[in-house]
Structure formats: C-alpha cells, structure tokens
Amino acid sequence: MNKRVLAGYTVLLLIACALPFVVSEYRTFQFTLVLIYSIALLGLNILTGFNGQISLGHGAFYAIGAYCAAILMDKAGIPYWATIPAAGAVCLVAGFLFGLPALRLEGLYLALATFALGVSLPQLLKYHHLEEWTGGVQGIVITKPDAPEFLTGLGVALNQDQWLYFFTLAVTIVMFLLAWNLLRGRIGRAMMAIRDNHVAAEAMGVDNSMVKSLTFGVSAMFTGIAGALGAIAVQFVAPDSFNIFLSITFLIGIVIGGLSSISGALYGALFIQFVPNIADEISKAAPWAIFGLFLLGFIYLMPMGVAGAIRMGLARLTRKVHNKQAEKP
C-alpha cells in the first residue's frame, strides 16, 4: 500500500513537472495560481479544519504577505526569492498576535471578529500615512522575475511563466511537507484534540492557549507565503484586490476541497481557480452565484468535501478488492 501511495505521488509530481511544457503560457500562469491558492487554503485549513477556529478574514494575512513581498522588492530592492521567508515570518508574528485576543473568542464570535478584519482591511491598506510604503489606492507594481542564469547555462531555456511555475511548485512541495509533518506529530494531535474537546485536551496536559495562538500564527504564515507568491505572480498589489470576497473565496476553497484534509487544499484551489473561468461565460455575476450554490450543496450533501468523497470512494473500492480476495480461497 505504501509503495502504491509513493508511486501515486511520483506520477503526480511528474505530471506537475510536465505541465508547463504542454499547456500554453496563460494556462501555466493559471496553474501557478492554483499552487499559490493551495498553500493559502492549506493555511486556512490548518486553522479551521484541524484546529476548529473559524476565520472569515484570512484574506488579510494573504494581503500582508503580498504587501511584504511587494514593499521589500520595490523599496528595498531585495530579490524575489528572499521575500518569501520574510513574508512568512511577518505573517507568523501577525497571526500569533491576532490569535491572542482570538483565544477569548469561540466559534461564532471568532467568525465575527475575523469577518470584521476582512471587511476593514482594504481601508487600512489605503490609509494615507502608510501611502509612502503601500502606494495607497494605486498599489505597487513589481517586475516578474527571470529564470536564473545557471539554468540557461545548463541548456534549459525557461520563459518567465515557466520559471515562476517551477519556483512556486518547489515552495508548494516544501509547504505541504511541512504541514504534513506538523499535523501528524504531537502538535497536530494537540490541535485536533482541542478542536474535538478542548476541556479534555486541557486535562490531558495540552496547553490550549499556546497551541491555539501558535496555530493561528502558523496558519497565517502559510497564507502569507501564498500572498507573497501571489504578488510576484500577478506583479501587482492593490488594496481592493484584498476585499472580503477574497477571504470568502478561501473559505469556499476549504469547504469544497475538504475540511481537515491536506490534499483537499489542492482540490479547493483547482475549484476556485477554474470554476469562475467557466462560469464567467454565463454572466459576470454567475461565478459567485455558483460558488454559493456549491457551498450550500456541499454542506448539505458532502460535508467532507471532495477529499472526503475521494477517500470514501477509494475505501469502498479497496474494500471490494479485499472482499474478493477473501472469497477466493
């Protein structure tokens, strides 16, 4: 079984590597965005899916990451790859600090507080005393990075979009490995214990407040790194692209992809990237109507999301195989 899973991941990786050579430049860019969204969704899923803290304002951390990258590149002239860890660190601290008052808020009230953060964020970014840094309403334009020279020396000619795709792919793999490692270990179990029964978790010696605010920090870090990558990919940050609907998009992504599932982040990212493209052909307002209907449908019919459905389907298939094997002798 383990070999089969490993083989599955290798095939997935090979497909991911072959993708930018097969599809058009624009599609490559879209798949880069899918990878970026998947990191952001993974961050939100760590908080909401695994730790049970609802956030309706994760767009805020995406925005902080994006602005970090843009300001560092534009004002300080720092190379694009170095902005990623910087954005991650800033968001880790910001998330941890927001997580402290959030400790006192449960369920609904945390949703309210984060909703307020998400709604008021564009206004904060437009604040005129910060304009020197954030560029105010106009935002900041940054240049797209070229593929590094040693690659051309090796005889691999990548255009900007392809290079950015591979760079993002590398970061994505690292982030997914990090999340997988974190969640299957002691801290991950503590997170889930708090989600399921915080009193019992406390009684078992889990430091509830520390784990909860750290989870907030780590979650914000993931989303912030995604934001930094997103800023580099679209070469532009502006306050109005980080409105409440961005946060809602992330929520939709994790619900559709599958709550408390690592692979769900990828399905959710594919959904929020490609479904609006298809729906746009019907009407300008259609994507959101379809998002809403999907959201209702998933909550009523498939609360574990796509990842849960796939898991169940696989379990059913393998059980059949097992049964047949058992019948044979």
Residues of this chain that interact with other proteins (CB under 8 A) are 48, 52, 54, 56, 101, 104-105, 107-109, 111-113, 115-117, 119-120, 123-124, 126-128, 199, 244-245, 248, 251-252, 255, 259, 283-289, 291-293, 295-296, 299-300, 303
Least separation in angstroms between CB 120 and other proteins? 4
Give dist(CA 194, CA 202) in Å, integer.
8
Give dist(CA 71, CA 267) in Å, integer.
31
Least separation in angstroms between CB 46 and other proteins? 14
Tokens of 316: 């059913």
Q: Which is nearer to other proteins, 65 or 118 (CB)?
A: 118
Element (H, E) at 237: strand 236-237
Least separation in angstroms between CB 190 and other proteins? 19
Least separation in angstroms between CB 288 and other proteins? 4
Give dist(CA 328, CA 285) in Å, integer.
56
* Total residues belonging to the chain: 329
Q: Which is nearer to other proteins, 200 or 317 (CB)?
A: 200
Q: Which is nearer to other proteins, 104 or 320 (CB)?
A: 104
Give dist(CA 311, CA 308) in Å, integer.
5
Give dist(CA 34, CA 266) in Å, integer.
8
Give dist(CA 272, CA 309) in Å, integer.
18
State which amino acid sits at residue 274.
F
Give dist(CA 105, CA 113) in Å, integer.
8
Give dist(CA 123, CA 63) in Å, integer.
12
Give dist(CA 167, CA 177) in Å, integer.
16
Q: Which is nearer to other proteins, 19 or 245 (CB)?
A: 245
Q: Which is nearer to other proteins, 88 or 264 (CB)?
A: 264
